[in-house]
């Protein structure tokens, strides 16, 4: 399978601190690729580099072979690289309907349309409905996002990224903080994402990682430590050492 997202010798320094060190990562098309690592391993920094929130000190990022290292964040989204956030980043004063309506409008290229109401452009409503159904937001369409139950906010968080029709979807701890009762809904939704969307999952929860991923990269101290299939990673004594070591310190 071809590589859809790739980093080459990616490096990020904050002053003297190396947060990302010589990371060359390849994510294959259609993969369910998980990125794991102990706290402070540099997972969030890597996500921020991939999405363009941070600029790398050195190295390159390629999306479908095209160099996107210097491309602005919103353009990367339009090129097919969308992300969710570990801590909800939503529009509290809008409704889920407005939020999704906006994201879909932007993807259809009508985000700058200032004359017609949201949803008047052909195809927008159909996409909005598909998202509402896929992410089970039908019963809260007109609530303010800020007052939604946390699980619903989490679903909206993923729906927003998915609304950008990404080729690569970066999921940053999708189930983080979700109460046990609502957790199943999120996991089922993540598992049901279409197979042609490549998913890069950043996760702490090992049950979720091993049930979902077909490829796992382990990040330690900003560098790629081990990469392989779930079985290989599970058997790797060095990975155990890292995680046991962390547990021993905890």
Partner 1 sequence: MPGPAATDVTALLAARARWRPLELVFWVVALASVFLLPDKHLILAEIAILALFALSIDLLLGYAGIVSLGHAAFFGAGAYIAGLLGKHGVQEPLFGLVAAAAGAAVLGFASSFLVLRGSDLTRLMVTLGVALVLYEFANKAAFTGGADGLQGVVIGPVLGLFEFDITGHVAYAYSLTVLFVLFLLARRIVYSPFGLSLQAVKGNPLRARAIGVPVSRRLVAIYTLAAAYAGIAGALLAQTQQFVSLDVLAFHRSADGLLVLILGGAGYLYGGIVGAVIFKLMQDWLSALTPQYWQFWIGLVLVLIVVIGRDRMANWSHLVRDIVRPTRKAPVAAPAEQERGP
Interacting positions 89-148 with partner 1 (CB under 8 A): 89-95, 97-99, 101-103, 105-107, 110-119, 125-126, 128-129, 132-133, 136, 138-139, 141-144, 146-148
Site string for partner 1, 36-75 (x = CB under 8 A): ---------------x-x------------------xxx-
- Binding of residue 185 to partner 1 (CB under 8 A): no
Number of residues that this document lists for the chain: 250
Q: Select the residue interacting with partner 1 from 30, 149, 228, 230 (CB under 8 A).
A: 149
What is the torsional sign of CA 143, 191, 49, 240?
positive
Exposure of 113 in the CB half-sphere (CA atoms within 13 A): 18
Q: Are strands 17-23 and 3-14 parallel, antiparallel or unpaired?
A: antiparallel
Among 34, 176, 219, 224, binds partner 1 (CB under 8 A): 176
Q: Are 153 and 96 in contact (CB under 8 A)?
A: no
Q: Counting beta carbons within 10 angstroms of the beta carbon of residue 32, is it exposed (0 to 12), middle (13 to 18) or buried (19 or more)?
A: buried
CA 4/CA 42 separation, integer angstroms? 22
Residues near partner 1 (CB under 8 A) are 51, 53, 72-74, 77-78, 82-83, 85, 87, 89-95, 97-99, 101-103, 105-107, 110-119, 125-126, 128-129, 132-133, 136, 138-139, 141-144, 146-151, 160-161, 163-164, 176-177, 179
């Amino acid at each position: 399978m071809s590589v859809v997202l790739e980093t080459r010798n990616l490096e990020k320094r904050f002053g003297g601190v190396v947060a990302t060190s010589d990371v060359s990562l390849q994510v294959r098309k259609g993969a369910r690729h998980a990125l794991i690592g102990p706290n402070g391993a540099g997972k969030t920094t890597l996500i921020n580099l991939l999405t363009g929130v941070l600029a790398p000190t050195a190295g390159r990022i390629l999306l479908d072979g095209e160099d996107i290292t210097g491309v602005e964040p919103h353009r990367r989204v339009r090129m097919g690289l969308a992300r969710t956030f570990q801590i909800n980043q939503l529009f509290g004063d809008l409704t889920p309907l407005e939020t999704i309506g906006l994201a879909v409008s932007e993807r259809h290229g009508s985000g700058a349309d200032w004359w017609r109401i949201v949803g008047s452009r052909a195809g927008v409503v159909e996409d909005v409905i598909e998202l509402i159904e896929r992410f089970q937001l039908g019963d809260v369409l007109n609530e303010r996002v800020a007052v939604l139950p946390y699980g619903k906010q989490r679903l909206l968080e993923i729906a927003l990224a998915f609304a950008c029709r990404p080729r690569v979807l970066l999921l940053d701890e999708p189930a983080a903080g979700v109460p046990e009762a609502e957790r199943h809904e999120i996991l089922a939704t993540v598992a049901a994402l279409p197979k042609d969307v490549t998913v890069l999952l950043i996760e702490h929860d090992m049950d979720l990682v091993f049930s979902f991923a077909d490829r796992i990269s382990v990040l330690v101290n900003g560098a790629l430590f081990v990469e392989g299939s779930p079985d290989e990673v599970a058997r790797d004594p060095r990975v155990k050492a890292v995680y046991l070591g962390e547990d021993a310190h905890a």
